[in-house]
DNA sequence: TTATTTTAATATACGCGTATATTTTATCAA
DNA sequence: TTGATAAAATATACGCGTATATTAAAATAA
């Protein structure tokens, strides 16, 4: 049997340089995005070249293309990480569905960006990115799932709303949350009312219609 | 006096190659945008290189930089031409201020894009343009003036609206008009209701609030 | 007519992202 | 141990937009 196992090994053994392991591949990808993130946040996406990233890592520029399809994909991966972190913080407050939960989601959402202003800039303020490059990123179901959590919570308190109305409420809610986050991040010197207070209005706005409809 | 004139000429005469005349300069700029427009509409902005435009014109690539600061400025100039044409058609229907005038402006606005679908694609669907490149274009007062005409007409039928409300109505009205134009241009195979009919709803939407407020 | 000057036009070069070609490395077969 | 093989990594090349250097053209001064 041992000899059979050996024979099996020999039958399946492949000549040539073996592929790197999935683990090694992910380690390298993480190294690339880590270095790129630092440089992008420091100098801006457009001002950081592939050659510069490679030099910082200590490999050839074309090596990066073994791990990412294009320069923009390194940025998209960073965006994915940022949204994964956001989703991770949204989930724990999404298991309840009432106004309070929506308020808490709003809090978590805004607080996330306030605690990660550099990530906010990386995602929403990157220079040198075209609209179609962003769209490819947004086509990823994982990215949209975070917004679906909020939609589900809004749906729970307005069960009679059709899909279009829910989409409008979600879009408004997110617009308001982004406005709050954006103002605090980009014009931090201005004495804004606290996010806690402002988010209450956002929740009220998407709740009052429900109440009006219910009347 | 003749001698004085000669002396004046001599005093103001300048050695060296004279600058090209303003007329010649504009002629060349028009030639550049004309050739570029054809190529951009045929192959898309991103797929048309500066070298290719120059070759079509019969000059060196760097010659183009004597007439435009950058490749994107050739496109911006084309956008400006398109909006100038639109403005030219909007003005005649803007001298009256009532619902009918707003409706007619809507008709003119949508009809303009339907008659110039290639221009529509050039302005709103150019690939390879970043958001900041578009923003520089929009900062031009001449571009915004076309929208101000519509704002003024809306203001005339809702004199009590504050600036923010007017801006919201304008934005909605333009969103609706663009939606109508966009659908007809990009999904022309679908049997859309006529723009004439759809625009009525857009006008109603920004009028009904006024009536509600007036009640 | 030639020299000088100034501008227009062109030539060359650069760094960019990435396509393609080549070399290096890590394995197995003989 | 050497040869063969296949993947990883690197080297080279390409066209891009545009910065910089150089040449050509058109004028005036001498």
Position A2 pLDDT exceeds 50: no
Structure tokens at A39: 């440089």
Residue limits of CATH 1.10.10.60 in chain A: 20-68
Q: What is the distance between the alpha carbons of residues A195 and A185, in angstroms, rounded to a whole number?
A: 12
Nearest DNA or RNA nucleotide to A60 (CA to C1'): D10
Q: Which CATH code fits A20-68?
A: 1.10.10.60
Position B199 pLDDT exceeds 80: yes
For B188, the 3-state DSSP assignment is coil
CA of B69 to C1' of C14 (A): 18
Position B28 pLDDT exceeds 60: yes
* Contact map slice: B 126-155 vs A, CB within 8 A: 127-132
Residue limits of CATH 1.10.10.60 in chain B: 19-68
**CB contact A179 to B (< 8 Å):** no
CA of B2 to C1' of D28 (A): 20
Residues ≥6 apart with Cβ < 8 Å to A201 = A176
Alpha carbon of A136: minimum distance to chain B alpha carbons (Å): 13
Position B8 pLDDT exceeds 60: no
Position B102 pLDDT exceeds 70: yes
Crossing angle for the helix pair B195-214 and B99-115, nearest 10 degrees? 150
Secondary structure percentages of chain A, helix, strand, coil, to 5: 80, 0, 20
CA dihedral of B93, B98, B103, B105, whole degrees rounded to 10: 30
The answer to whether the beta carbons of residues B184 and B193 sit under 8 Å apart is no
Position A206 pLDDT exceeds 80: yes
The answer to whether the beta carbons of residues A127 and B132 sit under 8 Å apart is yes
Structure tokens at A80: 């994915």
Q: Which CATH code fits B71-214?
A: 1.10.357.10
Kindly indicate the confidence band of residue B193, based on its pLDDT and cuts at 50, 70 and 90.
confident
- Check A130 against B129: CB less than 8 A apart: yes
How many angstroms separate the first and last alpha carbons of chain A?
Answer: 78
Superfamily name and number for A72-214 = Tetracycline Repressor, domain 2 (1.10.357.10)
User: Looking at this predicted complex, what is its ipTM?
Assistant: 0.79
CA of A11 to C1' of D5 (A): 16
CA dihedral of A186, A188, A191, A195, whole degrees rounded to 10: 70
Give the DSSP letter of residue B98: S
Half-sphere exposure in the Cβ direction for B107 (13 Å, CA): 13
For A17, the 3-state DSSP assignment is coil
Task: List, in sequence order, every residue forming a beta bridge with A130; answer none if it has no partner.
Answer: B130
Query: Looking at chain B, which runs of residues are DSSP E strands?
Result: none
- Check A128 against B130: CB less than 8 A apart: yes
Q: What is the distance between the alpha carbons of residues A198 and B68, in angstroms, rounded to a whole number?
A: 46
Alpha carbon of A127: minimum distance to chain B alpha carbons (Å): 7
Residue limits of CATH 1.10.357.10 in chain B: 71-214
In order of A54, A113, A125, A176, the CA distances from A117 in angstroms are 26, 6, 11, 17
B70 in contact with nucleic chain C (CB within 7 A): no
Q: What is the pLDDT of residues A14-47, one digit of tens each?
A: 889 999 999 999 999 999 999 999 999 999 999 9
- Check A129 against B128: CB less than 8 A apart: no
Mean pLDDT of B135-160: 82
Alpha carbon of A195: minimum distance to chain B alpha carbons (Å): 23
Half-sphere exposure in the Cβ direction for A121 (13 Å, CA): 17
**Residue in chain B nearest A131 by alpha carbon:** B130
Residue limits of CATH 1.10.357.10 in chain A: 72-214
More confident residue, B75 or B210: B75
Q: What is the distance between the alpha carbons of residues B87 and B125, in angstroms, rounded to a whole number?
A: 20
Chain A residues with CB-CB distance to B131 below 8 A: 129, 131
* CATH architecture for segment(s) B19-68: Orthogonal Bundle (1.10)
**Predicted local confidence at residue B145, as pLDDT:** 79
Query: What mean pLDDT value characterizes chain B?
Result: 85
B60 in contact with nucleic chain C (CB within 7 A): yes
The answer to whether the beta carbons of residues B64 and B54 sit under 8 Å apart is yes
In order of A27, A28, A33, A37, B169, the CA distances from A24 in angstroms are 5, 6, 14, 20, 56
- From A8-12, A196-200, B67-71, the region with the lowest mean pLDDT: A8-12
**Predicted local confidence at residue A78, as pLDDT:** 94
A56 in contact with nucleic chain D (CB within 7 A): no
Please name the residue whose C-alpha is nearest to the C1' of nucleotide C25.
Answer: A17
Q: What is the distance between the alpha carbons of residues B26 and A105, in angstroms, rounded to a whole number?
A: 57
CA of A56 to C1' of D10 (A): 16
Nearest Cα residue to B112 out of B82, B142, B151, B154: B82
- Count of CB atoms within 10 A of residue B134's CB? 18
**Predicted local confidence at residue A209, as pLDDT:** 52
Task: List, in sequence order, every residue forming a beta bridge with B130; answer none if it has no partner.
Answer: A130
**Predicted local confidence at residue B208, as pLDDT:** 64
CA of B20 to C1' of D25 (A): 12
Half-sphere exposure in the Cβ direction for A108 (13 Å, CA): 21
The answer to whether the beta carbons of residues A75 and A136 sit under 8 Å apart is no
């Amino acid at each position: 049997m041992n000899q059979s196992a050996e024979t099996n090994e020999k039958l399946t053994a492949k000549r040539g340089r073996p592929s790197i392991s999935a683990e090694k591949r992910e380690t390298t990808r993480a190294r690339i995005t880590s270095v790129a993130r630092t440089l992008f946040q420091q100098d801006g996406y457009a001002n950081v070249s592939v050659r510069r990233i490679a030099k910082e890592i200590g490999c050839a520029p074309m090596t990066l293309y073994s791990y990412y399809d294009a320069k923009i994909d390194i940025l998209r991966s960073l965006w994915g990480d940022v949204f994964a972190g956001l989703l991770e913080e949204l989930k724990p407050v999404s298991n309840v569905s009432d106004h309070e939960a929506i308020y808490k989601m709003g809090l978590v959402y805004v607080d996330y960006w306030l605690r990660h202003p550099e990530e906010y800039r990386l995602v929403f303020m990157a220079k040198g990115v075209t609209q179609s490059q962003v769209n490819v990123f947004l086509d990823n179901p994982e990215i949209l799932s975070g917004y679906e959590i909020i939609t589900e919570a809004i749906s729970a308190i307005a069960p009679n709303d059709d899909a279009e109305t829910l989409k409008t409420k979600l879009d408004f809610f997110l617009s308001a949350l982004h406005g709050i986050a954006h103002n605090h991040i980009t014009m931090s010197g201005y004495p804004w009312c606290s996010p806690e207070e402002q988010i209450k209005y956002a929740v009220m706005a998407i709740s009052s219609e429900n109440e009006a409809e219910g009347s």
